[in-house]
């Protein structure tokens, strides 16, 4: 078990340091907006993959990609790749986007 924060909250930089010490070179993060926010604010995210479906969604329970206060330069992205899937989901299509973050450790 790894402990890299306080209570139940993970800190990005200590997490990456511990995983690196264990020999991990590439870490694939699948988590919610709070973890994404932590990794970006701690400048530990080097690449972001984002899929955008060409459908409108929303409502009173709609959530954004990140939580917390407005990001400064930590939120700056560089487009590295853009792919278009015409029939996925059927009848609408989607983009698969790869962004880089220049400030990552």
Would residue 90 count as lying in a domain? Answer: yes
83 is a domain residue? yes
Domain for residue 105, yes or no? no
Residue 59 pLDDT: 66
Does the pLDDT value for residue 56 go beyond 70? no
CA atoms within 13 A on the CB side of 21: 8
Q: Which domain holds residue 23?
A: 5-100
**From CA 104, how far away is CA 12, in angstroms rounded?**
11
Q: If you ran DSSP here, which 8-state letter would residue 62 be given?
A: -
Find the mean pLDDT for residues 55-59.
66
Taking the C-alpha atoms of residue 103 and residue 29, their distance in angstroms, rounded to an integer, is: 18
- Residue 41 scores a pLDDT above 70: yes
Whether 16 is in a domain gets the answer yes
The answer to the question of residue 61 being in a domain is yes
At residue 48, does pLDDT exceed 70?
Answer: yes
Q: Is pLDDT at 105 greater than 60 in this prediction? A: no
pTM exceeds cut of 0.85 = no
Residue 59 placed within a domain: yes
In a domain, residue 9? The reply is yes
3-class state of residue 78 by DSSP: strand
- H helices within the chain, ranges in order? 12-21, 33-41
């Amino acid at each position: 078990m790894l402990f890299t924060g306080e209570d139940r909250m993970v800190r990005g930089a200590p997490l990456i340091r511990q995983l690196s010490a264990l020999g991990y070179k590439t870490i694939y993060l699948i988590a919610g907006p709070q973890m994404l926010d932590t990794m970006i604010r701690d400048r530990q995210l080097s690449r972001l993959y984002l899929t955008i479906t060409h459908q409108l969604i929303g409502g009173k329970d709609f959530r954004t990609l990140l939580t917390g206060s407005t990001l400064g330069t930590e939120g700056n992205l560089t487009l590295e790749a853009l792919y278009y899937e015409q029939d996925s989901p059927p009848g609408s299509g989607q983009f698969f986007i790869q962004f880089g973050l220049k400030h990552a450790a």
